[in-house]
Structure formats: C-alpha cells, structure tokens
Amino acid sequence: MITLYDLTNTYFEGNCRGNSFAKRGHFKEKRSDCPLVTLGLVPDSSGFPMRSHVYEGNVSEPATLSEMIHDLQSSGISADQKPTVVMDAGIATQDNIDWLNDHHYPYVVVSRKKHRELDESESTIVKQDGECTIKVQKVIDDETGETLLYCHSSQREKKERAIGNLFSRRFEDALQYLADGLTIKRRLKKYDKVIEKIGRLKQQFSKAAKLFIVTVEKDEKSGNAGKVVKTTMAVE
C-alpha cells in the first residue's frame, strides 16, 4: 500500500479576521501580503484522496506528518496496516524519518542529506536517448541501514550549470558596477559601505560567490575604497 503526503497553501484577499486558521506564513507563490491556510492531502497510489486537513497558514509543514497518519488510522486504517509513506524533502526532516522508523513505517523520501558524487563505475543507466541520460547508483547506508538511490540526469546537470553560470555573471556584473562607481559622483565609495555591499552580494549570490575571492583596497587618505579586486578561485 502506497500513501502519498504533501501540503500546499492558498491565500485570502483582505485581512480575513473571521478565520482563525488564516495566518501569515511562508507562501509558495512568494507573497507576504496575504493571510494563508495550509492544505494537507493524502491520496492513495491511484490518486484518490484518503484524507485531507486544513491547517493554520503558519504551520510547520514537517510537524503535520504524525498528526495526518494518526488521522488515517482513526479513519479506518489499522495500526498493523503500515503503508509506504512517500513525501518530499520539505517534510522529510530527520525527526520525521526517526518517527517513521520508530513506528515501523516504510518510506520513500527525497533526502535532505548533502549530495554526493555518483560513482560512475557502480552506476546503472536506466534511460538513454538523444536528449538525456539518467544513471542511478544503489547504496546501503552502513549507519542507518537505509537504501539510498543516487540519481544523475545529464539534462538536469546542463540546467544547473546554466543557472550557475547565470548567477556567476550577475555576481560579477554587480561587482563591476560597484568597482566602476568608485570614480563616479554620487555612487558608493566609502570603504566600510563598499565592504558591507559586497557582503550582501555574497549572501544574495552565495553559490556563485564561492567561486571568487573579492578584496577591496583602501585609500587611506580619503577613507574610500580605492579598488575592488576579483580573483577566480582554482577548481580542483
């Protein structure tokens, strides 16, 4: 038996003061100006809803898993009938995985663990055509006994590389704009402010920033930044 579990949310126009579930929270459509409610749904492997629930808009999504499974049991699924729970990384916290293990539920999740490189010599090609090659590698975790499946898609790799190049260009363009402004009136020049701006850029483009070393030379006479130097880090 397969049980799929996921959540989404929706928003209300206005203040929605008469709805105790309407709360400000993390909105999947990137809006922060509307009250939300969170919707949880459990369909079976054929897609038919088995259970649904409305939560407050600011609910912690991982915290809803055990409650939903208890609801399923109270609605007719016996404690001995253990479905395989399928959920995404947003709900698959270590606490939830521990809870599933403690209650003997099998599960399939998107792991939150740090990605590792797929071992080409141990991988198997499961799809290959003119557009994409997909390889998988099965690994047994010695500590937890979990079966891990590492997947590599050539199409996904190209997409991620293109996204990485885009953010690298944006980071470099922002640094260049900052450097050019050191000699232009009414642009940022104070050394401390330039350092602060570069720090914010590193936060905004955190992955791209790891590829560069950025230093700022200070003009001791004026107290301004004299030069912004960007050096590309060597990739091993």
How far apart are the C-alpha atoms of 233 and 236, rounded to whole Å?
9
Query: What pLDDT sits at residue 163?
Result: 92
Q: For the chain, which residues make up each domain, given as ranges?
A: 2-112, 157-232
Backbone φ and ψ of 41, nearest 5°: -140, 135
Would you tell me which CATH number, out of the four given (2.40.128.130, 3.40.50.720, 3.90.350.10, 3.40.50.1820), belongs to the domain 2-112?
Answer: 3.90.350.10
Query: What is the Cα–Cα distance from 99 to 101, expressed in whole angstroms?
Result: 5
The β-bridge partners of 37 are: 10, 56
In the chain the first and final C-alpha atoms are separated, in Å, by 46
User: What is the phi/psi pair of residue 73, to 5°?
Assistant: -65, -40
Separation between Cα atoms, residue 148 and residue 79, nearest integer Å: 27
SS3 call for 117: coil
Query: pLDDT at position 13, please?
Result: 82
pLDDT of residue 80: 63
Instruction: Characterize the bridge pairing of strands 212-219 and 224-232.
Output: antiparallel
Rounded to an integer, what distance in angstroms lies between the CA atom of residue 5 and that of residue 3? 7
Name the pTM for this structure: 0.58
Report how far residue 60's alpha carbon sits from residue 62's, in angstroms, rounded to the nearest whole number. 6
Nearest of 143, 197, 70, 2 to residue 214 by alpha carbon: 197
Instruction: Give me the pLDDT at residue 12, please.
Output: 84
Which residues, given as ranges, of the chain have pLDDT below 70? 1, 28-31, 72-81, 114-115, 234-236
| Greatest CA separation for the chain | 78
